[in-house]
Chains A and B, each alone.
Chain A
Amino acid sequence: MSMSQEEIEALMSGADDISGGDEESSDDSVGAIDNDILAGIEGITDDEPQEEESSNDNIDDILAGIEGITDDEPQEEIPTQDDSAHTIEEMIEESKFPLPVEKEHKVVNQLNEVAEDSEEKASQIFDILSFILDENGEVGDVFNQLEEFATKQRDLLTSLENKFPNIDVFKDNLEESQKSIEIIQAYKLRIDAENNKIFEAMEIMQYHDINRQKIERVMAVIKKLTNYLNGIFEDDTGKPEVQIAKHISGDSASTVSDDDLESLIGEFSNN
């Protein structure tokens, strides 16, 4: 929902009323702020932001269309507790969790790394954009000097052409001079347009900060969840860990039948 400038100004006017009175009356004033005005403010929301639905792209189709991608790429092998080698992809595919607790698998670590790395890259992009702006500024200065010179030349040639209308060289050079000025002015406009595009790009880079804060929000949730789960699963009985049963009656096919049991007992008794 977007908000107009008039509406935000109306909110600011309301703020003057808020800060003018005592604390209690301020609260009343706040309550009186027109909800319609707030509803119209760009970026102001009543509700918590909704999570965006992720799209389910057909990864296989995309990969198939990319040159150089093969199915038999070498997979990085990850050691597991049962000493058998599995790739991360295989482990996820087979729901073999948890993944080994290593730095690259710690979710908060990874998110933090993404946030910090993108900040660094955004800064580098900004350096490049700033460099282009500075260069354009210098080129613009040169164009200004050229325009100033060309204008003086045109004025001089105009005087000469007026004074000696029968001399063609003055007339021809005056026309050339006028064309030069027009070309310079056209390029100055192009530089201005290019600068405006760079400013637009810089404005769009605000989304880096917005996205970073979204990541930080996810990190905060995970940290709180971690603390909660640690707390709720914490064992403060002091009881030593007992060996757990591998096969219990009622489990699926893995328990031995009565007949098999007797048979096994008989077989071993004979030995």
Chain B
Amino acid sequence: MRILIVDDSSTMRRIIGNVVQQLGVKKGDFDEAADGVEAWKILETNGQYDVILTDWNMPNMNGLELVKKIRAGGAHQKTPIVMITTEGGKSEVITALKAGVNNYIVKPFSADILKEKLDGLIKG
């Protein structure tokens, strides 16, 4: 399973990377991007990903803009997206879901929660 992790915090990217490794994903099977612009470049050049995990608040292009751009068309239009963010407001969750995210995790999260969400996406 190939995963793209998008977060402007390098610590957060490492934490998420560590969790997905616990779930059996090999180190070479996930890539990282620090913002939406970088993520979009990777998506255009690095081939197909099975899941995209993205933060919301990031510089240059935020997570919501990235989700909308992905859903607008291209090779990853149907790729499952999980938003992992500190944004815990009801309206933000609804906005993200309307933009096309498949699941939503509020930070801080446990490895078990991410595992459940990823399992659900893979099986679903």
Residue of B nearest to A1 (CB): B88
Chain A interfacial residues counted at CB < 8 A: 37
How far is A38 from B104 in the complex, measured between Cα atoms in Å? 12
Within 8 A of A (CB), among B7-27: 7, 9-12, 14-15, 18, 22
Residue in B10, B11, B101, B116 whose Cβ sees the most chain A Cβ within 10 Å: B11
Residues of A within 8 A of B22 (CB): 199
Structural contact, B86 and A210, CB atoms closer than 8 A: yes
A19 in contact with B100 (CB, 8 Å)? yes
Are A213 and B94 in contact, with the CB atoms below 8 A?
no
Knowing A123-B14, A203-B108, the reply to whether A46 touches B86 (Cβ < 8 A) is: no
Encode contact with A along B81-124: 1 for CB under 8 Å, 0 otherwise: 00000101110011001101111101111110100100000000
Q: Which residue from chain A places its CB closest to the CB of B94 in the assembled complex?
A: A30
Residues of B within 8 A of A223 (CB): none
**Chain B: CB-nearest residue to A118:** B11
> Does A209 contact B93, Cβ atoms closer than 8 Å?
no
Closest to B21 in A: A133
B35 vs chain A, min Cβ distance (A): 14
Known: A38-B93, A44-B88. 16 other contacts (CB 8 A): A5-B116, A11-B97, A12-B97, A14-B97, A19-B97, A19-B100, A30-B98, A44-B93, A45-B90, A119-B11, A122-B11, A123-B10, A126-B14, A126-B15, A199-B18, A210-B107
| Chain B nearest Cβ from A38, distance in angstroms | 5
CB of A15 closer than 8 Å to a CB of B: yes
Verify B15–A206 contact, CB threshold 8 A: yes
* Chain A residue nearest in CB terms to B55: A209
Chain B interface bracket (under 10, 10 to 19, 20 to 34, 35 or more): 20 to 34
Residues of B within 8 A of A33 (CB): 94
Chain A 24-44 per-residue mask, 1 if CB under 8 angstroms from chain B, else 0: 001000100101001001111
Q: Which of A4-26 contact B (CB under 8 A)?
A: 5, 8, 11-12, 14-15, 18-19, 26
Which 4 pairs, one residue from A and one from B, show the smallest C-beta to C-beta distance?
A: A43-B106, A15-B97, A206-B108, A43-B88
Q: Are the C-beta atoms of A199 and B111 separated by less than 8 Å?
A: yes
**Chain A residues packing against B (C-beta within 8 Å):** 5, 8, 11-12, 14-15, 18-19, 26, 30, 33, 35, 38, 41-46, 119, 122-123, 126, 130, 199, 202-210, 212-213, 216
Q: How far is the CA of A123 from the CA of B101 in the complex (A)?
A: 29
- In whole angstroms, what is the CA distance A82 to B23 when docked? 65
Alpha-carbon separation in the docked complex, A12 to B80 (Å): 13
Q: Is B57 an interface residue (CB 8 A)?
A: yes
Specify which chain A residues have a CB less than 8 angstroms from the CB of B97 in the assembled complex. Answer: 11-12, 14-15, 18-19
29 CB-based A-B contacts, threshold 8 Å:
A8-B104, A12-B102, A14-B97, A15-B98, A18-B98, A19-B100, A30-B94, A30-B98, A41-B88, A44-B90, A44-B93, A44-B106, A45-B88, A45-B90, A46-B89, A46-B90, A119-B9, A123-B11, A123-B14, A199-B18, A203-B109, A204-B108, A205-B11, A206-B107, A206-B108, A209-B11, A209-B12, A210-B107, A210-B108
